[in-house]
């Protein structure tokens, strides 16, 4: 059994400035992420710098380009380029969104999803890369998508029926399930074999707000939290992941906690790193009697 490493997500445009600080608080991996564009970053120039910076101290857990390749040809082209660059970052995981047609339903996007992701999955498979679809709704709903149909288990069933590739999987985050009032532990047990990357973001569900105001009213009912501050039992998460042979990392996605962010971001990042390491059982210690 391989120990699951703990790391954190870093914006690709801030990589060289932020990585040293994250290594100093004990991160074992970093996720290099871009949203909707590369922000002027040349991946060919960034890759050796990042690899040199983490060498001997950590690994690059994933390279993320969260985009809408269904609706935007430029995004599709860039996503192919990101897949090509994964090996330069010494990672085998590229994270993204499943895309969708803005304002339309999950079903409306499925034919185009099959076309686009059959092509992307074949490209990834040829290069030994896993594509990980994040389960973030990005403010959308089933019948009113923004840029990602891959947020709900019913959509996953449709997606994997349309594109049956070993290179296509999920980037799973419990907070996104909890914000849909889905039990994350039951969800993880069902879908663990499809998970190729984990986002470490927790959530707190205000059940009193749900009972008083429902889920489409004025009052918020789910708050994004740092691991260790929310409702998820991360010991169960690690247990289930190990049961299913997961050998990747848990990559903390910060910057969302309503209390521990802003001036408290690094405090929360350090807490989350230490908490997740505790939840996995600490650091591997070999049996002295096996020597």
291 pLDDT above the threshold of 90: no
Kindly state the percentage of the chain with pLDDT values over 70: 100
Q: Is 95 helix (H, G, I), strand (E, B) or coil?
A: strand
Q: Hey, what are 161's tokens?
A: 């029926």
What's the pLDDT tens digit per position in 95-135?
999 999 999 999 999 999 999 999 999 999 999 999 999 99
Helix spans in 163-215 (H): 174-178, 184-191, 207-213
Q: Residue 190 pLDDT > 90, yes or no?
A: yes
Confidence at residue 137, expressed as pLDDT on a 0 to 100 scale: 97
pLDDT in tens, 195-219: 999 999 999 999 999 999 999 989 9
Position 2 scores a pLDDT of 94
> Phi and psi for 22 in degrees, rounded to 5?
-70, -35
Residues 168-174, mean pLDDT to the nearest whole number:
98
**Interatomic CA distance for residues 265 and 274, integer angstroms:** 14
Mean of pLDDT values over 75-80: 98
DSSP string of 11-43?
EGGGHHHHHHHHHHTT-SEEEEEEESS-TT--H
Mean pLDDT for 184-199 is: 98
pTM of the model: 0.97
When pLDDT is averaged across residues 224-252 and rounded to a whole number, the result is 98
What pLDDT does residue 287 have? 94
């Amino acid at each position: 059994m391989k120990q699951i490493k703990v790391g954190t997500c870093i914006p690709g445009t801030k990589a060289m400035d932020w990585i040293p600080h994250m290594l100093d608080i004990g991160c074992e991996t970093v996720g290099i992420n871009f949203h909707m564009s590369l922000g002027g970053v040349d991946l060919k120039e960034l890759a050796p710098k990042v690899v040199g910076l983490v060498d001997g101290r950590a690994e690059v857990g994933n390279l993320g380009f969260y985009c809408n390749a269904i609706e935007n040809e430029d995004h599709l082209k860039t996503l192919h380029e990101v897949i090509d660059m994964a090996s330069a970052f010494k990672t085998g995981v590229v994270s993204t969104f499943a895309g969708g047609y803005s304002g339309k339903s999950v079903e409306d996007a499925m034919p185009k999803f099959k076309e686009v992701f059959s092509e992307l999955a074949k490209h990834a498979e040829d290069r030994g890369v896993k594509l990980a679809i994040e389960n973030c709704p990005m403010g959308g709903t089933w019948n009113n998508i923004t840029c990602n149909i891959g947020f709900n288990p019913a959509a996953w069933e449709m997606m994997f029926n349309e594109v049956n590739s070993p290179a296509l999987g999920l980037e799973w985050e419990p907070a996104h399930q909890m914000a849909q009032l889905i039990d994350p532990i039951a969800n993880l047990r069902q879908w663990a074999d499809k998970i190729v990357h984990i986002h470490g973001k927790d959530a707190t569900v205000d059940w009193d707000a749900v009972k008083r105001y429902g889920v489409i009213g004025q009052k918020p009912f789910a708050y994004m939290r740092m691991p260790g501050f929310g409702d998820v039992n991360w010991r169960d998460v690690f247990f289930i992941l190990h049961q299913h042979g997961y050998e990747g990392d848990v990559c903390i996605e910060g910057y969302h906690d309503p209390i521990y962010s802003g001036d408290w971001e690094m405090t929360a990042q350090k807490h989350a790193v230490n908490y997740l390491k505790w939840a996995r059982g600490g650091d591997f210690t070999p049996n002295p009697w096996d020597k």
